[in-house]
């Protein structure tokens, strides 16, 4: 419940009684978000008790958002907005705060395939837009955490790497305009968001409101975003194969998929650079064996299947041979182009001595399931299945592929240490994935780690592992900005990067003088 009854009344009047609630039956469902515990707060058992949201409000327009923020400033109510709401970073951390659920703002405002941009509101999900874009022969950058998530959220407030980052960058790069209600309630518009007006680039504010990693809701609320579109080499409708829960897409004639094993992490980096230099990869990604067995190899319907597949791979003696892998999709607009890319691919395979990944396991069904996972970011949340509703992880981006590959061996040692202590699930060598962005300009790398989230002791050990993993990355100078690093870790990182954290603090102070837009994932909990 909000502290001010008067504020509650006003907020209810702003959006109508159907769109505002302080009832425990409503607000309690906003307390459950994955990753809360491994970000350092509590075990999953304690989640409902620890996150006590005061009220939930669902605005239907930018003007309503503006009024809500002004009311929050008047009555000193802390608030945080989320769009589709996935992850601990969408939930306010202060007690009795206001959760702004952007669900009612769900329009695709514009799709301009000629000028290659689309304008959407917060609740439009990647696949909703993509379904419409396929029909127009274009695509957009779908982020890796799932096509059910908001486009606007990753574009304005988070990182947003994805399977096709090698060709479609990370989401922060794709912003061509936005509509932003600042923490003091001003509406700022720039770029291609203004309906009916000729688009113009306008002043670039990305460095202020999102930087590389996004402000995670600490700098007001974004109500529209214009994102860049890309050519789509595939058909206007993909043919569905398989059945729920393991559907795939028939691989179009002009696409090829390569599952490769390399002999070392350095060779993975080498192959990635060669592919990027030749600009032939539509998708280039390193996945650990754990992800392959979870999502597409074998039956891939449940943990039972994943475990069975793992055992079969083990029996085939392939675990150790599947440590350093790469999956590549190539796509072409003509047969000539496809022939050329296939030839280059063969040359790179030969030069890097890449071999077939998991021989005997990569069937047509597996390929089709993988294709759906890669093209429309299907099923990444199966992490929750392996982690009993939880997943931890860390590291980040803004570095190079070889920098991350350099970190793989020491990370494996650290990971094994916590496996042997009985803290982490044992997924073989590591659970670390990475891929290049913008051809090879940058790279994203991320690991996932699982424990039993309902055991407080294990969660605390898991947190220690994360801290050590971040320290290791700092030591190796391979920790990127932002992702799961708010607070102490980021401050330490910032020392090596021009003390940029101080600039974040200044930006926050200038834009949000009352410190109401929840900054727990931007500056850290309790930080100002």
283 contributes a contact to other proteins by CB under 8 A: no
CB of 371 to other proteins, least distance (A): 10
CB of 415 to other proteins, least distance (A): 11
By beta-carbon proximity to other proteins, the closer residue of 231 and 422 is 422
CB of 310 to other proteins, least distance (A): 7
Q: CA nearest 67: which of 180, 178, 185?
A: 185
Q: CA nearest 219: which of 61, 379, 369, 81?
A: 81
Q: What token pair was written down for 201?
A: 């680039």
By CB under 8 A, the residues from 463 to 522 that bind other proteins are: none
Q: What token pair was written down for 204?
A: 């670039």
CB of 49 to other proteins, least distance (A): 7
By CB under 8 A, the residues from 409 to 448 that bind other proteins are: 419, 422-427
Is residue 289 within 8 Å of 323, Cβ to Cβ? Answer: yes
Site stretch for other proteins (CB under 8 A), options 270-278, 341-349, 384-392, 503-511: 384-392
Q: CA nearest 194: which of 182, 204, 202?
A: 202
Q: What is the 3-state secondary structure (H, E, C) of 144-179?
A: CCCCCCEHHHHHHCCCCCCCCHHHHCCHHHHEEEEE
By beta-carbon proximity to other proteins, the closer residue of 263 and 388 is 388
302 contributes a contact to other proteins by CB under 8 A: yes
Is residue 333 within 8 Å of 280, Cβ to Cβ? Answer: no
Among 258, 310, 411, 501, binds other proteins (CB under 8 A): 310
Q: What token pair was written down for 270?
A: 């080498």
528 contributes a contact to other proteins by CB under 8 A: no
CB of 63 to other proteins, least distance (A): 18
Is residue 400 within 8 Å of 476, Cβ to Cβ? Answer: no
212 contributes a contact to other proteins by CB under 8 A: no
456 contributes a contact to other proteins by CB under 8 A: no
Among 67, 78, 139, 147, binds other proteins (CB under 8 A): 147
By CB under 8 A, the residues from 336 to 355 that bind other proteins are: none
Among 39, 41, 44, 140, binds other proteins (CB under 8 A): 44
Secondary structure class of 426 (helix, strand, coil): coil
Q: CA nearest 303: which of 384, 375, 229?
A: 384
By CB under 8 A, the residues from 49 to 108 that bind other proteins are: 49, 56, 58, 84-86, 101, 103-104, 108
Q: What token pair was written down for 297?
A: 């190899």
Measure Cα distances from 329 to 16, 163, 371, 396, 434 in Å.
49, 10, 9, 23, 15
CB of 391 to other proteins, least distance (A): 7
By beta-carbon proximity to other proteins, the closer residue of 333 and 384 is 384
Q: What is the 3-state secondary structure (H, E, C) of 456-483?
A: HHHHHHHHHHHHHHHHHHHHCCCCCCCC
Contact partners, residue 504, CB within 8 Å, separation at least 6: 211, 215, 522, 523
By beta-carbon proximity to other proteins, the closer residue of 359 and 422 is 422
Site stretch for other proteins (CB under 8 A), options 48-56, 337-345, 397-405, 491-499: 48-56
By CB under 8 A, the residues from 3 to 42 that bind other proteins are: 18-19, 21, 23-26, 28-34
249 contributes a contact to other proteins by CB under 8 A: yes
Is residue 439 within 8 Å of 418, Cβ to Cβ? Answer: no
Among 9, 115, 186, 307, binds other proteins (CB under 8 A): 307
Among 228, 378, 440, 504, binds other proteins (CB under 8 A): 378
Contact partners, residue 104, CB within 8 Å, separation at least 6: 19, 58, 59, 60, 123
Among 207, 389, 513, 526, binds other proteins (CB under 8 A): 389
Site stretch for other proteins (CB under 8 A), options 216-224, 302-310, 340-348, 518-526: 302-310
Q: What token pair was written down for 332?
A: 């072409």
Among 61, 240, 360, 475, binds other proteins (CB under 8 A): 240
C-alpha 32 chain-centroid distance = 18
By beta-carbon proximity to other proteins, the closer residue of 121 and 527 is 121
125 contributes a contact to other proteins by CB under 8 A: yes
> What does DSSP say about strands 175-181 and 97-101: parallel, antiparallel, or unpaired?
unpaired
* Binding residue count for other proteins, defined by CB under 8 A: 83
By beta-carbon proximity to other proteins, the closer residue of 84 and 481 is 84
CB of 321 to other proteins, least distance (A): 19
Q: Where does 143-264 have alpha helices with state H? A: 151-156, 165-168, 206-209
By beta-carbon proximity to other proteins, the closer residue of 44 and 444 is 44
Site stretch for other proteins (CB under 8 A), options 243-251, 406-414, 433-441, 470-478: 243-251
How deeply is 489 buried, as exposed, middle or buried, from its count of CB atoms within 10 A (0-12, 13-18, 19+)? Answer: buried
Whole-number Å distance between alpha carbons of 95 and 524: 15
> What does DSSP say about strands 97-101 and 79-82: parallel, antiparallel, or unpaired?
parallel
CB of 520 to other proteins, least distance (A): 18
């Amino acid at each position: 419940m909000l502290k001010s009854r008067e504020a509650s009344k006003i907020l209810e009047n702003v959006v109508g009684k159907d769109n505002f609630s302080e009832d425990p039956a409503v607000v309690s469902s906003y307390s459950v978000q994955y990753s809360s515990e491994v970000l350092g707060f509590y075990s999953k058992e304690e989640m409902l008790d620890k996150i006590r949201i005061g009220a939930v409000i669902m605005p239907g327009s930018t003007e309503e958002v503006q009024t809500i923020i002004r009311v929050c400033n008047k009555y000193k109510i802390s608030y945080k907005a989320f769009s589709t709401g996935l992850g601990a970073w969408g939930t306010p951390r202060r007690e009795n705060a206001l959760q702004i659920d952007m669900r009612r703002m769900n329009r695709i405002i514009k799709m301009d395939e000629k000028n290659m941009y689309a304008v959407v509101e917060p609740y439009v999900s990647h696949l909703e837009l993509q379904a419409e874009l396929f029909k127009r022969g274009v695509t957009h950058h779908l982020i890796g955490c799932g096509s059910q998530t908001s486009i606007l959220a990753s574009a304005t407030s988070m990182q947003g790497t994805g399977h096709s980052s090698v060709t479609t960058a990370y989401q922060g790069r794709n912003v061509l305009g936005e509509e932003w209600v600042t923490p003091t309630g001003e509406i700022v518009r720039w770029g291609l968001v203004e309906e009916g007006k000729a688009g113009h680039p306008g002043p670039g504010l990305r460095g202020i409101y999102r930087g590389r990693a996004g402000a995670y809701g600490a700098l007001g609320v974004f109500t529209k975003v214009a994102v860049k579109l890309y050519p789509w080499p595939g058909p206007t409708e993909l043919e569905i194969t398989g059945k729920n829960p393991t559907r795939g897409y028939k691989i179009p004639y002009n696409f090829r998929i390569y599952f490769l094993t390399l002999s070392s992490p350095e060779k993975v980096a080498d192959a990635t650079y060669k592919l990027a230099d030749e600009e032939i990869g539509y998708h280039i990604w390193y996945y650990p064996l754990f992800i392959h067995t979870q999502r597409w190899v074998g039956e891939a319907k449940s943990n039972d299947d994943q475990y069975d597949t793992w055992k079969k791979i083990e029996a085939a003696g392939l675990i150790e041979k599947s440590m350093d892998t790469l999956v590549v999709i190539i796509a072409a607009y003509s047969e000539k182009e496809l022939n050329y890319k296939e030839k280059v691919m063969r040359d790179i395979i030969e030069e890097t001595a890449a071999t077939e990944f998991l021989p005997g396991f990569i069937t047509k069904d597996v390929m089709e399931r993988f294709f759906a996972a890669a093209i429309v970011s299907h099923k990444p949340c199966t992490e929750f299945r392996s982690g009993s509703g939880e997943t931890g992880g860390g590291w980040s981006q803004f570095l190079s592929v070889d920098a991350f590959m350099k970190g793989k061996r020491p990370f494996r040692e650290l990971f094994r240490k916590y496996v042997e202590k009985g803290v982490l699930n044992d997924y073989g060598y590591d659970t670390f994935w990475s891929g290049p962005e913008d051809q090879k300009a940058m790279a994203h790398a991320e690991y996932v780690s699982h424990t039993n989230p309902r055991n407080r002791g294990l969660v605390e050990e898991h947190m220690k592992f994360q801290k050590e993993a971040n320290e290791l990355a700092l030591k190796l100078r391979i920790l990127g900005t932002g992702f799961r690093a708010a607070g102490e870790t980021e401050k330490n990182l910032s020392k090596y990067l021009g003390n940029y954290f101080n600039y974040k603090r200044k930006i926050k102070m200038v834009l949000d003088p009352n410190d109401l837009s929840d900054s727990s994932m931007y500056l850290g909990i309790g930080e100002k």
